[in-house]
């Protein structure tokens, strides 16, 4: 731990001040990651101790369970800053919806980013099941109904389907009456993004360039 590193950076409270500021900090953190200038991990233990009583994550992220998409790492964020839900195919199940409503309504999170990624195995499997009738072991096929709307809209190519899936899952979140009311009041942004494994960069799919 570098003692000269402030535990709370000057913009810490600003990150939480608006949906736009929260989204900007996510993208700024991703730029630190892609340029090899990450710093948040140096604060991990100190932040954990600070967060013992309560958490105030400034953003929530719904990402794939894929091991190559470690959310805090790619946004250069330490403990207590991101409320992360992960499931193969970054889909909105009832439990994911409940978790993200909790992040917004109880923890005060201002931004939710649904993040698809290149080379997604779950989306690939859903495409292959739809177009080739490919059978998968165990209960893996339980993922497919959630991804099928994107496959129908953008398949069979993988990348457009991943992008469509992130957009459709973000749209599902916006159907929540609780989240829709927060969006209407300007207190919440629900955005869709795409994580490129080759570059490590996250691009927004449905927001003005920032
Ligand atoms: Zn994936």
Quote the distance between the C-alpha of residue 172 and its chain's center: 14
Say if CB 33 and CB 76 are below 8 A apart. yes
Q: What is the pLDDT of residue 6?
A: 45
Based on the structure, what is the number of domains in the chain?
1
The answer to whether residue 77 is domain-embedded is: yes
pTM for this one? Answer: 0.90
- Answer yes or no: is 171 within a domain: yes
Instruction: Say if CB 120 and CB 68 are below 8 A apart.
Output: no
CA of 44 to the centre of ligand 1 (A): 26
Q: In Å, how far are 139, 157, 204, 210 from 59, measured between CA atoms? A: 31, 31, 15, 17
In a domain, 2, yes or no: no
**How far apart are the CA of 52 and the centre of ligand 1, in A?**
32
Mean pLDDT (the chain) is 91
Ligand 1 centroid to Cα of residue 3, in Å, is 38
Place of tokens 């990348």: 159
CA of 121 to the centre of ligand 1 (A): 5
pLDDT tens across 26-57, in order?
A: 999 999 999 999 988 887 888 888 887 888 99
User: Which residues lie at CB < 5 A from ion ligand 1?
Assistant: 64, 66, 120, 122
CB contact at 8 A, 31 and 74: no
Least confidently predicted of 12-21, 40-49, 98-107, 192-201? 12-21
CA of 86 to the centre of ligand 1 (A): 10
Would 6 be classed as within a structural domain? no
Mean pLDDT of 5-18: 57
Reference 91, options 31, 162, 34; nearest CA is 162
102: in domain: yes
Residue 50 CA to ligand 1 centre (angstroms):
32
pLDDT score for 90:
98
Q: Which of 16-20, 31-35, 150-154 has the lowest mean pLDDT?
A: 16-20
62 is a domain residue: yes
Cα–Cα dist 80/44, whole Å: 9
Residues 139-161 have a mean pLDDT of 97
Q: Are strands 59-63 and 111-117 parallel, antiparallel or unpaired?
A: parallel
CATH number reported for the structural domain that contains residue 32 in this entry = 3.40.1050.10
Q: Is the pLDDT of residue 184 over 60?
A: yes
Ligand 1 center to residue 4 CA distance, Å? 38
Domain assignment of residue 210, yes or no: no
Contact (CB, 8 A) for 178 and 105: yes
Q: Is 177 helix (H, G, I), strand (E, B) or coil?
A: helix
* Res. 7 pLDDT band, cuts 50 70 90: very low
Could you tell me if residue 183 is inside a domain? yes
161 lies in which domain range?
Answer: 12-204
């Amino acid at each position: 731990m570098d003692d000269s590193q402030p535990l709370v950076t000057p913009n810490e409270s600003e990150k939480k001040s608006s949906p736009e500021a929260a989204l900007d900090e996510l993208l700024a953190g991703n730029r630190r990651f892609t340029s090899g200038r990450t710093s948040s991990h140096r604060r991990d233990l100190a932040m954990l101790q600070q967060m013992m009583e309560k958490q105030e994550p400034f953003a929530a992220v719904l990402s794939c369970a894929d091991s190559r998409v470690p959310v805090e790492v790619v946004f250069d964020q330490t403990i207590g800053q991101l409320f992360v839900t992960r499931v193969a195919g970054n889909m909105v199940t009832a439990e994911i919806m409940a978790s993200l409503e909790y992040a917004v309504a109880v923890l005060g999170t201002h931004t939710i980013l649904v993040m698809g990624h290149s080379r997604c195995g779950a989306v690939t499997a859903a495409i292959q099941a739809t177009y080739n009738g490919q059978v998968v072991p165990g209960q893996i096929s339980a993922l497919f109904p959630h991804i099928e709307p994107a496959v129908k809209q953008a398949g069979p190519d993988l990348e457009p389907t991943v992008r469509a899936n992130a957009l459709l899952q973000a749209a599902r979140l916006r159907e929540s009456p609780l989240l829709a009311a927060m969006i209407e009041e300007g207190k919440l942004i629900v955005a869709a993004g795409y994580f490129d494994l080759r570059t490590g960069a996250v691009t927004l799919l449905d927001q003005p360039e920032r």
